[in-house]
Amino acid sequence: MLDAVPKAVFSMLASSGALKRLASRYGMRRSDSFARRFIAGETIEEAIAAARAIEQAGLSVTLDHLGESVSSTEAADEATRSYLDVVSRIADAGISRNISIKLTQLGLDVDRATTVDNLRRILDAAGKVGFFVRIDMEGSAYTAQTLEIFETLWGIGYRNAGVVIQSYLRRSAADVGRMNALGARVRLVKGAYREPRQVAFQQKAEVDASFVELMQVLLGHGTHPAIATHDPAMIDATKQYASSRGIAKDTFEFQMLFGIRRDLQSQLAGEGYPFRVYVPFGREWFPYFMRRLGERPANVSFVVKSLVRERKRP
Ligand SMILES: Cc1cc2nc3c(=O)[nH]c(=O)nc-3n(C[C@H](O)[C@H](O)[C@H](O)COP(=O)(O)OP(=O)(O)OC[C@H]3O[C@@H](n4cnc5c(N)ncnc54)[C@H](O)[C@@H]3O)c2cc1C
């Protein structure tokens, strides 16, 4: 029954201050609290420990210091400085030099020029120590700006960054063409936000068909694309397309989110496909967590059970 709850409900609940306070109080407080299923922890130390365990099992990681939609240049500057710290902590820890960031975390809702400056600060520091920086894609209000900022930086020589393209957006075939023409690295996802029908496909079958089409273009003409999905049908389509075209396994990678389909994650790595796990961490985990619930409303029952258990504990 819960599977019928639309994404819109989770999107609405994500803006509830009361729910956020309740979740924040209980979601992370113990090693088995419910938010830990999808979030590696609130500190960089916890994220590095989770990343080490993943890498010991033969998979790679990208770390996301959670945060989005900051509303002042001061907050954007603080987020940028904490990312600079994350870069140096990861470099010291010796785990994969790969991070994922969101432009609204760097100030895109406040001022575009500040956002570009903040992104450049991160790319400069990251570039010096051999990091790759993935610019996550947010809601469709940010798609054009995100790609334009990326292209501007690419144009002045930044090569240690890549973007994300969402198969649910009607514009994405053109955007994949644009990114392939540059030689830029694309992560392909289905898309996690609630979008109107004018801009996005609404039916799963359409989103999946678009995903397969874009995957084929990326495998055929892209630069080390990342196929990021937990959907076995999309994964099989990718494997089949690659093997039918003689596309080597090491020319692309699969990616999945921390805590989701761990069985499939190790299976694919065991089959010899390069594999990266997206490891989110930080105190601002609530919106990310709500998107994960919205993708699979059945997760709600596990959260409710854990909440009841948590509230009974001292
Ligand atoms: C590495 C990575 C990075 C991403 N980056 C972005 C980004 O920058 N921008 C963006 O909009 N989206 C991003 N996403 C999210 C993505 O857009 C989808 O919302 C998400 O991956 C669910 O879609 P799916 O491809 O797994 O397929 P679905 O059809 O949604 O799910 C397929 C199957 O996967 C499993 N599954 C999927 N989600 C969950 C879940 N939450 N809990 C438990 N099981 C689940 C279920 O078994 C489900 O049947 C990212 C996803 C990944 C894997």
* SS3 per residue for 85-104: HHHHHHHHHCCCCEEEECHH
Contacts of 72 (CB under 8 A, 6+ apart): 110
Q: Using a 6 Å cutoff on CB, does residue 257 contact ligand 1?
A: yes
Q: Using a 6 Å cutoff on CB, does residue 212 contact ligand 1?
A: no
pLDDT in tens, 225-281: 999 999 999 999 999 999 999 999 999 999 999 999 999 999 999 999 999 999 999
Report the C-alpha gap between 8 and 13 in whole angstroms: 9
- List the catalytic residue out of 36, 64, 97, 136: 136
Verify whether residue 117 is a known catalytic residue. no
- List the catalytic residue out of 187, 194, 291, 292: 187
**pTM score of the predicted model:** 0.94
Q: Whose CA is nearest to atom 29 of ligand 1?
A: 231
Q: Using a 6 Å cutoff on CB, does residue 169 contact ligand 1?
A: no
Q: Whose CA is nearest to atom 36 of ligand 1?
A: 230
Q: Is the pLDDT of residue 150 over 70?
A: yes
If one compares 21 and 165, the residue with the highest pLDDT of the two is: 165
Percent of the chain exceeding pLDDT 70 equals: 96
Atom of ligand 1 nearest to the CA of 207: 29
Q: Using a 6 Å cutoff on CB, does residue 101 contact ligand 1?
A: no
Probe ligand 1: pick from 102, 199, 207, 295, max atoms within 8 Å of CB? 295
Helix, strand, coil fractions of the chain, as percent rounded to 5: 55, 15, 30
Confidence at 5, pLDDT banded by 50, 70, 90: low
Q: Using a 6 Å cutoff on CB, does residue 168 contact ligand 1?
A: no
Distance from the alpha carbon of residue 229 to the mean position of ligand 1, in angstroms = 5
pLDDT in tens, 41-52: 999 999 999 999
Q: Using a 6 Å cutoff on CB, does residue 262 contact ligand 1?
A: no
Report the C-alpha gap between 291 and 216 in whole angstroms: 27
Beta strands in the chain (DSSP E): 60-65, 98-101, 132-135, 161-166, 185-189, 226-228, 253-257, 275-281
DSSP characters over 123-138:
HHHHHHTT-EEEE---
Token pair belonging to 258: 């921390």
Q: For residue 277, how many other CB atoms are within 10 A of its CB? A: 26
Token pair belonging to 2: 């819960």
Report the C-alpha gap between 244 and 238 in whole angstroms: 10
Verify whether residue 187 is a known catalytic residue. yes
